[in-house]
């Protein structure tokens, strides 16, 4: 019982003891005191009720696991950092995605107060989704859902390929750590990663242990004699994948439920306020841009190549800079790019500007600008500079990014050449005019000079005619031209023909 209740109890006892000896005035005073304490107690209880409402945040994890999802979950958990009693329900429905993004999400979940995160599998928690689910303090699954199969894979011309021990070992260590932290069977958690593991459920003296084939072989003869049963849970060549019933039996899931509200009721979480955190339109746009980043990079590089190939600065340059800016801004918002990558992009554009407007031709400055842009693009696609040997997938990511950027450069050149050769010449058909659609075939012009001379007039060459030059006709000097004949200065000529503003002259024979 709280202090206000004890005070009220003492007051009532005092009233009961003295009620026979009180005058009316004293009774009114005591009644006022009683009313005051009663009001204080009621306000105190209301305050307790208001402050005891627990905030429960529902955070969706759906679709491909990528840097955009990692940034969204980080923002969602940081939104309530001022309330350490907040509860986060991570609603999972994903078939996985990037390993580095999944590990970022795991680190974010581990930073939350212990016991304040619950993963509920809505449909599937496969691959990276299983890793995220096990990172939460508790795991709950809706009925008829699935979790497991977290083998690292890569894609080649032959299709998906499981990566080797070099990649599996650090992931197994991460699964062991999460299983130990949250009380899951460690060997079973490891078997989600490695298909070569064989896991048995071994019962010894009424206690069930999960051990791999090597651990079972290492048992002493006396320990093996105490084994009452042995059952294969995960066969060789398989990865542990469980439905909700199996996850409950094997010690991963706390319960199977129909919905989140049933889960909260069965966990005896009452007097709560449910708050759904959804992706904002800007976060959705960022994830969409992340999907089309290779195309934006291709368009941006192609436009810059077209700008370099043409004189001046116009639409291709604006399009190229805009596309590259979108790529870098998107990577910056998801936490992959930082000031270093943006500085490389700006330096590359500045060098290209020098090459276009200051230095004639295309040389060292232009090549250096392209190299800076390529380096910035590669670093912007990843959250590290030099791959960590203990995280082998970082080397794979670096190689993949280099191939993406080099491929974008190569395809950009092809696209730019195609546009310059076949599309640009035909833009006049699409863009409004006016245009000159007629020729000057039948036109003529009579110059003022030509009107002062006529066919048959006689003159003399003032310069060499080879075949054009100056001729003097009637004290006027005209531009004259022969019909292919060369004439010396001072040669007598006459006008044989006038075509438009051209005076055609011929030599006067000596006998004339």
Which tens digit of pLDDT belongs to each residue from 286-315? 778 877 888 888 888 888 777 766 655 667
Q: At what angle do helices 165-182 and 99-110 cross, to 10 degrees?
A: 20
Cα gap 126→239, rounded to integer Å: 11
Q: What is the pLDDT of residues 109-132, one digit of tens each?
A: 998 888 899 999 999 999 999 999
Average pLDDT over residues 480-494: 82
Cα gap 436→369, rounded to integer Å: 40
User: Residue holding tokens 């459920």?
Assistant: 201
Helix and strand tally (H, E) in the chain? 19, 18
The second-level CATH assignment, the architecture, of 54-197+236-276 is: Alpha-Beta Complex (3.90)
Instruction: Residue 303: count other Cβ atoms within 10 Å of its Cβ.
Output: 24
Cα gap 279→256, rounded to integer Å: 27
CATH 3.30.70.270 for the 448-507 domain, yes or no: no
Q: Tokens for 464?
A: 């060499």
What is residue 210's three-state secondary structure?
Answer: strand
**Poorest-confidence range of 16-30, 54-68, 371-385, 481-495?**
16-30
| Contact partners, residue 361, CB within 8 Å, separation at least 6 | none
- What percent of the chain stands above pLDDT 90? 24
Q: Strand locations in 12-158, DSSP E?
A: 54-62, 87-94, 117-126, 138-142, 146-148, 153-156
| Contact partners, residue 396, CB within 8 Å, separation at least 6 | 154, 163
- Which pLDDT score, from 0 to 100, does residue 42 have? 56
Helix (H) or strand (E) holding 440: none
Q: Tokens for 283?
A: 């976060």
Q: Tokens for 81?
A: 């950092």
Please report, for residues 55, 57, 482, the alpha-carbon distance to residue 485 in angstroms, rounded to integers and kept in the order given: 102, 97, 6
- What is the DSSP-derived secondary structure letter of residue 89? E
Q: Tokens for 271?
A: 């007097």
Q: Which residue has the higher pLDDT, 25 or 2?
A: 25
- What is the DSSP-derived secondary structure letter of residue 508? P
Q: Which residue has the higher pLDDT, 355 or 278?
A: 278
Per-residue pLDDT band for 178 (boundaries 50, 70, 90) equals very high
- Which pLDDT score, from 0 to 100, does residue 192 have? 92
Per-residue pLDDT band for 50 (boundaries 50, 70, 90) equals very low
Q: Is the pTM of this model over 0.75?
A: no
Q: Tokens for 177?
A: 């750590």
């Amino acid at each position: 019982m709280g202090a206000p209740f004890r005070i009220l109890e003492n007051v009532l006892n005092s009233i009961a003891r003295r009620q026979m000896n009180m005058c009316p005035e004293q009774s009114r005073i005591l009644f006022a005191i009683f009313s005051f304490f009663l009001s204080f107690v009621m306000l105190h209880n209301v305050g307790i009720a208001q402050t005891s409402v627990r905030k429960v945040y529902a955070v969706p994890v759906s679709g491909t696991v990528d840097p955009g999802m990692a940034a969204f979950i980080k923002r969602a958990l940081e939104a309530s950092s001022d309330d350490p009693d907040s509860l986060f329900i991570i609603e999972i429905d994903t078939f996985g995605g990037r390993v580095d993004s999944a590990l970022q999400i795991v680190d974010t979940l581990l930073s939350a107060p212990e016991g304040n995160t619950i993963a509920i599998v809505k449909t599937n928690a496969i691959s990276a989704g299983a890793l995220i689910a096990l990172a939460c303090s508790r795991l709950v699954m809706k009925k008829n859902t699935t979790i497991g199969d977290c083998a690292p894979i890569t894609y080649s011309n032959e299709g998906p390929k499981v990566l080797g021990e070099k990649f599996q070992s650090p992931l197994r260590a991460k699964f062991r750590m999460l299983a130990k932290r949250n009380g899951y069977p460690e060997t079973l958690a490891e078997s989600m990663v490695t298909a070569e593991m064989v896991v048995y459920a071994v019962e010894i003296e009424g206690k069930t242990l999960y051990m791999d084939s090597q651990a079972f072989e290492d048992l002493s003869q006396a320990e093996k004699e105490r084994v009452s049963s042995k059952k294969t849970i995960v066969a060789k060549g398989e990865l542990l994948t469980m439905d909700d019933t199996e996850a409950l039996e094997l010690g991963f899931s706390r319960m199977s439920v129909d919905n989140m509200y049933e889960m909260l009721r069965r966990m005896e979480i009452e007097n709560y306020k449910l708050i759904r955190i959804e992706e904002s339109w800007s976060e959705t746009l960022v994830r969409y841009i992340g999907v089309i980043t290779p195309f934006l990079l291709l368009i941006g590089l192609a436009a810059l190549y077209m700008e370099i190939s043409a004189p001046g600065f116009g639409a291709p340059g604006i399009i190229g800079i805009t596309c590259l800016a979108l790529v870098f801004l998107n990577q910056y918002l998801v936490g992959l790019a930082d000031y270093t990558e943006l500085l490389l992009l700006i330096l590359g554009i500045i060098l290209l500007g020098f090459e276009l407007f200051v230095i004639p031709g295309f040389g060292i400055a232009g090549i250096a600008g392209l190299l800076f842009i390529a380096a910035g693009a590669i670093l912007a696609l990843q959250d590290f500079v030099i791959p960590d040997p203990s995280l082998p997938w970082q080397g794979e990511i670096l190689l993949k990014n280099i191939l993406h950027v080099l491929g974008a450069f190569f395809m950009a050149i092809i696209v730019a050449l195609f546009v310059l050769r076949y599309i640009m010449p035909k833009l006049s058909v699409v863009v409004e005019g006016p245009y000159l659609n007629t020729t000057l075939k039948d036109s003529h012009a009579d110059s003022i000079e030509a009107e002062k001379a006529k066919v048959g007039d006689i003159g003399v060459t003032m310069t060499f005619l080879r075949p054009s030059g100056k001729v003097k006709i009637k004290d006027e000097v005209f531009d004259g031209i022969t019909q292919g004949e060369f004439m010396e200065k001072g040669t007598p000529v006459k006008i044989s023909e006038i075509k438009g503003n051209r005076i055609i002259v011929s030599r006067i024979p000596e006998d004339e």
